């Protein structure tokens, strides 16, 4: 038998952790308490300075509970990330096929961007950026299974618009990812780098309106104008 290469072994480990993120196994009530306590402590003290003992004291759980439901402290962090990623990806699935493309994309984008700018998600993003140099596979997992990988609902909607001859889209996957990045854009960066300035609902709406208008202009069908 040919021995597994180091690179292949690393990829297998990454895929195992990706399965942790994408898994939807329900948590026990104790598991939920542990997860909530871990999130609070991670965001308050940082990942490195949060110990399992602190999480146990806060949640009333035990090491056995943590090991059985999350594996270890890193598994707890992955579970926290998984929960927020699932919520954000869920907002992209609510696109309305029964209204105009402009309205459908605006409604979905506002809901998505509002969630991305929530203070808890921004704090978690800063936390992850801080620990990625020490735990690079966490960053790779989020990149692989973040909002960009959850762009399939937008892709399918854009394919629908192309078939209905409402837009001219030759690569719906690329267009969907581009749309998400346009929506996140400068406001997400601003929320991360300028924590003392609140981004208003009006600012979100104006950003989305301009982004959607530009996106539709890029993919317009000449015979519709």
Rounded CA separation 132/130 (Å): 6
The whole-model pTM stands at 0.78
pLDDT, residue 149, reads: 67
Percent of the chain that is helix, strand, coil (3-state, to 5):
75, 0, 25
Q: Alpha-carbon torsion 186, 191, 194, 196, what sign?
A: positive
Q: Is the dihedral of CA 186, 187, 193, 199 positive or negative?
A: positive
Helices (H) and strands (E) in the chain, counts: 11, 0
d(Cα 116, Cα 204) in Å, to the nearest integer?
11
Q: Compute how many other C-beta atoms are within 10 angstroms of the C-beta atom of residue 158.
A: 26
pLDDT number for residue 49 = 92
The three-state secondary structure class of 196 is coil
Angle (nearest 5°) at CA 204 between 198 and 209? 160
Q: What is the pLDDT of residue 12?
A: 44
Residue 136, pLDDT score:
84
For the chain, 225 residues long, give each residue's pLDDT as a single digit of tens: 444 444 444 444 444 444 544 455 677 888 899 999 999 999 999 999 999 999 999 998 789 889 888 888 888 988 888 888 777 778 888 899 999 999 999 999 999 999 999 999 899 889 988 888 888 878 877 777 666 667 889 999 999 999 999 999 999 999 999 999 999 989 999 999 998 899 999 999 999 999 999 999 999 987 765
C-alpha 55/C-alpha 24 separation (Å) is 22
Residue whose C-alpha is closest to residue 184's, from 201, 204, 198: 204
Give the pLDDT of residue 8: 44
Q: Which tokens go with 103? A: 């309205």
């Amino acid at each position: 038998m040919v021995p597994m290469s180091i690179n292949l072994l690393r990829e297998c480990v990454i895929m195992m952790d990706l399965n942790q993120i994408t898994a939807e196994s329900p948590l026990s009530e104790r598991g939920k308490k542990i997860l909530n306590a871990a999130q609070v402590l991670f965001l308050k003290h940082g990942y490195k300075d949060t110990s399992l003992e602190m999480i146990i004291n806060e949640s009333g759980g035990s090491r056995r509970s943590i090991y059985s439901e999350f594996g270890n402290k890193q598994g707890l962090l992955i579970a926290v990330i998984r929960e927020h990623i699932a919520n954000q990806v869920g907002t992209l699935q609510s696109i309305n096929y029964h209204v105009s493309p402009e309205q459908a994309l605006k409604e979905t984008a506002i809901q998505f961007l509002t969630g991305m700018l929530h203070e808890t998600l921004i704090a978690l993003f800063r936390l992850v950026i801080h620990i990625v140099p020490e735990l690079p596979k966490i960053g790779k997992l989020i990149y692989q299974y973040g909002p960009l990988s959850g762009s399939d609902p937008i892709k399918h909607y854009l394919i629908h618009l192309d078939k209905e001859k409402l837009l001219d889209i030759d690569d719906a996957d690329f267009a969907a990812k581009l749309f998400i990045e346009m929506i996140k854009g400068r406001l997400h960066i601003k929320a991360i780098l300028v924590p003392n300035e609140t981004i208003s609902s009006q600012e979100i709406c104006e950003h989305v309106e301009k982004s959607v208008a530009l996106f539709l202009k890029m993919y317009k069908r000449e015979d519709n104008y």
